[in-house]
């Protein structure tokens, strides 16, 4: 295949969800509500953690604030384009923008996986070594672990992007999803992608599966090490929200990335779960099950109310 043929495809067409205008209008309203809720919930958590001295000094809530920021970034990579496409029948995306979306999707997504692993380690130290918790989980270590999460996401995403841009695209250009991701994009390449698929599955699939195994193992270790019934109930209360987030995020990721790049009819709905729904639910899961966050939010609300009255 000559070099000119590799440059034929300049833009892709995103399949989206439906071609019926009335259905797309309803979906636009629904996903707009999801996106607004994601912003409101995650920004509220970040502001609450930053404004409360106790939460801001706690390693757990420092990591939670970073998770909220990642959720905002992750949702913003795909949702604005999805909303625009609901109002556009063509659903076109330039090749360069497609690669950029793919890069940031895996950059932020992998960073969130690593950060959730860090949060599981934080809970392990808090429950199993409570007397040494503040010494071990110092602010300096937390900053290093957060930075390492971002760096790990960057390295992972760079590998994915390099493997993708080296492929020639000269034929079909319809991406069978509502955003650009590795599995549906490389299926459009005008070349044998078997080796590339194996490399990408071993990359994304290994990261998501191994991270999930580490997370579940850490929570299991916490429960096993605690002997008393009251202690286990406390540990379940502490780790329950984390485990819920982990399951909602890693389950769909493993389904999509830890298998050969074959297409299933449920792929789009699974993609919605970890791209749109999980970033929206994370603030609800953490606040509804956490008295300290709810208390800090009430203080913030009361403080803002007093400020308005003084003005």
Which tens digit of pLDDT belongs to each residue from 3-22?
444 457 789 999 888 777 77
Residue 153, pLDDT > 70, answer yes
More reliable by pLDDT, 264 or 137: 137
Quote the CA–CA distance of 139 and 109 in Å, as a whole number: 24
More reliable by pLDDT, 142 or 10: 142
Most trustworthy range by pLDDT among 3-7, 42-46, 146-150, 298-302: 146-150
Instruction: Answer for the pair 85, 148: CB distance below 8 angstroms, yes or no.
Output: no
Q: In what order do the strands lie in the sheet with 174-175?
A: 92-94, 11-14, 174-175
Contacts 24+ apart (CB under 8 A), 147-151: 148/114, 149/111, 149/112, 149/114, 149/115, 149/118, 150/111
Instruction: From residue 38, give the alpha-carbon distance in Å to each of 50, 115, 125.
Output: 18, 19, 30
Instruction: Answer for the pair 240, 289: CB distance below 8 angstroms, yes or no.
Output: yes
- The percent helix, strand, coil of the chain (3-state, each to 5) is 80, 5, 20
More reliable by pLDDT, 132 or 101: 101
Residue 197, pLDDT > 70, answer yes
Residue 232, pLDDT > 50, answer yes
Which CATH architecture group holds 26-289? Up-down Bundle (1.20)
Spell out the residues 6+ positions from residue 266 whose beta carbon is closer than 8 angstroms to its own.
none
pLDDT, residue 288, reads: 65
Domain boundaries, the chain: 26-289
Which conformational region is residue 123 in: left (phi greater than 0), alpha (psi within -120 to 50 degrees), or beta? alpha
Strands 11-14 and 92-94: antiparallel
């Amino acid at each position: 295949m000559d070099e000119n043929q590799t440059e034929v495809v300049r833009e892709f067409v995103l399949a989206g969800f439906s071609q019926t205008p009335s259905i797309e209008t309803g979906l636009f309203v629904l996903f707009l509500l999801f996106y607004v809720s994601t912003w409101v919930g995650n920004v509220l958590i970040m502001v609450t953690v930053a404004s409360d001295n106790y939460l801001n000094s706690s390693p757990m809530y420092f990591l939670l604030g970073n998770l909220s920021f990642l959720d905002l970034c992750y949702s913003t990579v795909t949702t604005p384009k999805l909303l625009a496409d609901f109002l556009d029948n063509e659903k076109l995306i330039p090749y360069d923008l497609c690669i950029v979306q793919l890069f940031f999707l895996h950059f932020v997504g992998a960073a969130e996986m690593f950060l959730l692993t860090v949060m599981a380690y934080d809970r392990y130290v808090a429950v199993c070594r409570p007397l040494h918790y503040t010494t071990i989980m110092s602010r300096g270590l937390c900053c290093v672990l957060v930075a390492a999460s971002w760096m790990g996401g960057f390295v992972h995403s760079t590998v994915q992007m390099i493997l993708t841009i080296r492929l020639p695209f000269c034929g079909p250009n319809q991406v069978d999803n509502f955003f650009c991701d590795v599995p549906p994009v490389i299926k459009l390449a005008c070349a044998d992608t078997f080796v590339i698929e194996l490399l990408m599955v071993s990359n994304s699939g290994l990261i998501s599966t191994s991270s999930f195994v580490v997370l579940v193992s850490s929570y299991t270790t916490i429960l096993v090490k605690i002997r008393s019934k009251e202690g286990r109930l406390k540990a379940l209360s502490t780790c329950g929200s984390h485990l819920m987030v982990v399951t909602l995020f890693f389950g769909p990721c493993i389904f999509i990335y830890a298998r050969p790049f074959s297409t299933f009819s449920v792929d789009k709905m699974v993609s919605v779960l970890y791209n749109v729904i999980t970033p929206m639910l994370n603030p609800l899961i953490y606040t509804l099950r956490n008295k300290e966050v709810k208390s800090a939010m009430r203080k913030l609300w009361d403080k803002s109310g007093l400020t308005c009255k003084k003005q």
